């Protein structure tokens, strides 16, 4: 096996480059090295000006999402040997403005996320002395899959709807809303409904399904969105047929 | 801060196989609509009497109408197969506390399709 592999890295230096240019680096091809290890080698030994985000190096923090050979990947969980003999093309995540090199601006997501209230909403908070809000394993199963999201933005990078329609709330934000909607301890589904059911919410999604295909945590945001479409449609029909019962329920 | 925004080119949907399949699935809606129009024309021809029905049959038998219908059928099949395949992702059905497996939901869709097609065939051919 070769001892080195070529990383072709997109460089964008604001004020210097008008668009990203590719720069090649030779890095050691080691069995347990991920793309992130290769980039760290570049930063430490070859070119200290290369910029990229990382933190945990173990697929938990969601910081190191990049486009590797055209696919959105966590660079800490994507191994050099899988791409041997190379070269490996490393670019920033698509669909986001590039701040510098491999660093993208995710402010849009950070603005949208709180709109779906991704926390447990209670009409009346129980005092701490009353203890925990209990939940059975079956109740936890309802939402656990959606709680695995690490906000890595791979789903936004793979979503053509988000690319064409930047107002779209997006896969992760909706999956996280469903994570709380399906939680037996939560009472905030009605408060999330207006945002989720808006044209920028679930109805913008055309079910391409790539968000789920690229998710490194098996969250299935596409499934979450389609499930909520069914819920929203059912609720609208119920409201149409039985306006009184539903309006009183929404208040109560 | 000057950021770089990647431009979206006209053929973005050729970038990934899944995007191509998605665009074809969306396009299939046009052919579903075509079949609805074709069915309405057929019903209209039947209601106008035997001569009108024969004229419709003659028109339908022309090579270009047959060609359109063959292409339309392929797209409608793609529409059906892809949507049935996606159905379990939208339907979280529970029976006696446990979630119905995806394969059973897909199978139920095909079964319903078969039963409905059989019912229509029986209605038309009896």
Q: What is the pLDDT of residues A46-63, one digit of tens each?
A: 999 999 999 999 999 999
Q: Any idea which fold B1-77 has?
A: 3 helical TM bundles of succinate and fumarate reductases (1.20.1300)
Domain boundary among A104, A125, A155: A104
Partners of residue B2 in chain A, C-beta under 8 Å: 14-15
Q: What is the pLDDT of residues B44-83, one digit of tens each?
A: 999 999 999 999 999 999 999 999 999 999 999 999 998 8
**Element at A176 (helix H, strand E):** helix A171-181
| Average of per-residue pLDDT across B31-46 | 94
Which of A182-201 are b and which e, b meaning 16 or more Cβ less than 10 Å from the residue's Cβ? bbeebebbeebbebbbeebb
Token pair for B6 = 């990647």
Asked if the model's pLDDT at residue A194 lies above 50, the reply is yes
Q: State percent of chain A over pLDDT 90.
A: 79
Provide the CATH number for the domain around residue A215.
1.10.1060.10
CA pair distance A119, A177, nearest whole angstrom: 8
Query: Would the CB atoms of B8 and A207 count as touching at under 8 Å?
Result: no
- What sign for the dihedral angle of Cα B6, B9, B13, B16? negative
* Cα separation values, A47 from A18, A87, A104, Å: 21, 18, 20
Q: Is there a contact between A207 and A225 (Cβ–Cβ < 8 Å)?
A: yes
Q: Where are the domains of chain B?
A: 1-77, 91-126
Q: Give B124's pLDDT tier (boundaries 50, 70, 90).
A: confident
Asked if the model's pLDDT at residue A251 lies above 50, the reply is no
A225 and A142 fall within a common domain: yes
Estimate the crossing angle of helix A171-181 against helix A189-196, to 10 degrees.
160
Asked if the model's pLDDT at residue A252 lies above 60, the reply is no
CA pair distance B66, B63, nearest whole angstrom: 5
Query: Would the CB atoms of B3 and A222 count as touching at under 8 Å?
Result: no
Query: Would the CB atoms of B6 and A99 count as touching at under 8 Å?
Result: no
CA pair distance B23, A94, nearest whole angstrom: 19
Asked if the model's pLDDT at residue A184 lies above 50, the reply is yes
DSSP state of A220: -
- At residue A101, the pLDDT reads 95
Cis, bond preceding A85 (omega within 30 deg of 0): yes
Poorest-pLDDT segment among A20-34, A130-144, A169-183? A130-144
A243 and A128 fall within a common domain: yes
For residue A229, give the chain B residue with the closest CA: B90
For residue B2, give the chain A residue with the closest CA: A14
A178 and A114 fall within a common domain: yes
Mean pLDDT rounded to a whole number for chain A: 92
CA pair distance A207, A210, nearest whole angstrom: 8
| pTM summary value | 0.87
Query: Would the CB atoms of A163 and B4 count as touching at under 8 Å?
Result: no
* Cα separation values, B9 from A37, A160, B69, Å: 33, 12, 32
A72 and A92 fall within a common domain: yes
Domain boundary among A57, A89, A104: A104
Q: Give A1's pLDDT tier (boundaries 50, 70, 90).
A: low
User: Residue A224, by phi and psi: left (phi above 0), alpha (psi -120 to 50) or beta?
Assistant: alpha
| Of A71, A1, A73, A91, the residue nearest A34 (C-alpha) | A73
- At residue A137, the pLDDT reads 92
For residue B92, give the chain A residue with the closest CA: A227
Chain A: which residues have CB within 8 Å of chain B? 12, 14-15, 17, 19-20, 70, 94-95, 97-99, 105, 138, 160, 163-164, 206-210, 212-213, 220, 222-223, 226-227, 229-230
Domain membership of residue A238 as a residue range: 107-251
A122 and A76 fall within a common domain: no
Q: What is the pLDDT of residues A119-140, one digit of tens each?
A: 999 988 888 898 888 999 989 9
Asked if the model's pLDDT at residue A247 lies above 60, the reply is no
A31 and A148 fall within a common domain: no
CA pair distance A28, A41, nearest whole angstrom: 8
For residue A95, give the chain B residue with the closest CA: B6
CA pair distance A53, A93, nearest whole angstrom: 12
| Of A174, A208, A171, the residue nearest B15 (C-alpha) | A208
Classify strands A88-91 and A4-11 as parallel, antiparallel or unpaired.
Answer: parallel
Q: Give A245's pLDDT tier (boundaries 50, 70, 90).
A: low
Provide the CATH number for the domain around residue A63.
3.10.20.30
CA pair distance A142, A83, nearest whole angstrom: 37
- Determine which of B4, B18, B96 to mutate to test the interface with A (most A C-beta atoms within 10 Å): B4
Number of domains composing chain A? 2
Q: Give B113's pLDDT tier (boundaries 50, 70, 90).
A: very high
ipTM of the shown complex: 0.78
Which of A20, A163, A208 shows the shortest C-beta gap to B18? A208
DSSP state of B4: B
């Amino acid at each position: 096996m070769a001892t080195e592999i070529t990383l072709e890295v997109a460089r964008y230096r604001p004020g210097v480059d008008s668009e990203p240019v590719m720069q090649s680096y030779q890095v050691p091809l080691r069995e347990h090295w991920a793309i992130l290890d290769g980039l760290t080698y570049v930063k430490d030994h070859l070119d200290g000006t290369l910029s990229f985000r990382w933190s945990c190096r173990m697929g938990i923090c969601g910081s190191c999402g990049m486009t590797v050979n055209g696919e959105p990947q966590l660079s800490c969980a994507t191994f050099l040997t899988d791409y041997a003999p190379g070269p490996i093309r490393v670019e920033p995540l698509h669909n986001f403005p590039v701040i510098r090199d491999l660093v993208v601006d995710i402010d849009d997501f950070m603005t949208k996320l709180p709109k779906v209230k991704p926390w447990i909403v209670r009409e009346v908070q129980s005092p701490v002395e009353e203890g925990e809000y209990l939940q059975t394993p079956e109740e936890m199963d309802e939402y656990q899959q959606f709680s695995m999201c690490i906000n890595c933005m791979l789903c936004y990078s793979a979503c053509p709807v988000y690319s064409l329609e930047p107002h779209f709330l997006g896969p992760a934000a909706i999956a996280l809303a469903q994570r709380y909607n399906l939680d037996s301890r939560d009472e905030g589904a009605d408060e999330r409904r207006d945002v989720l059911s808006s044209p920028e919410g679930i109805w913008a999604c055309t079910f391409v399904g790539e968000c789920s295909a690229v998710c490194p945590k098996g969250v299935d945001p596409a499934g979450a969105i389609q499930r909520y479409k069914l819920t929203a449609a059912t609720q609208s029909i119920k409201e149409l047929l039985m306006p009184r019962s539903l309006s009183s329920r929404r208040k109560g | 801060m000057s950021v770089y925004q990647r431009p979206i080119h006209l053929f973005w949907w050729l970038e990934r196989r899944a995007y191509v399949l998605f665009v074809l699935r969306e396009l299939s809606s046009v052919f579903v609509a075509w079949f609805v129009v074709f069915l309405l024309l057929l019903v209209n021809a039947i209601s106008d009497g035997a001569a009108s029905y024969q004229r419709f049959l003659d028109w339908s038998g022309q090579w270009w109408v047959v060609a359109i219908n063959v292409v339309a059928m392929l797209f409608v099949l793609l529409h059906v197969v892809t949507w049935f395949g996606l159905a379990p992702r939208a339907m979280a059905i529970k029976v006696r506390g446990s979630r119905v497996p995806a394969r059973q939901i897909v199978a139920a869709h095909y079964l319903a399709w078969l039963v409905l097609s059989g019912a229509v065939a029986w209605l038309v051919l009896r």
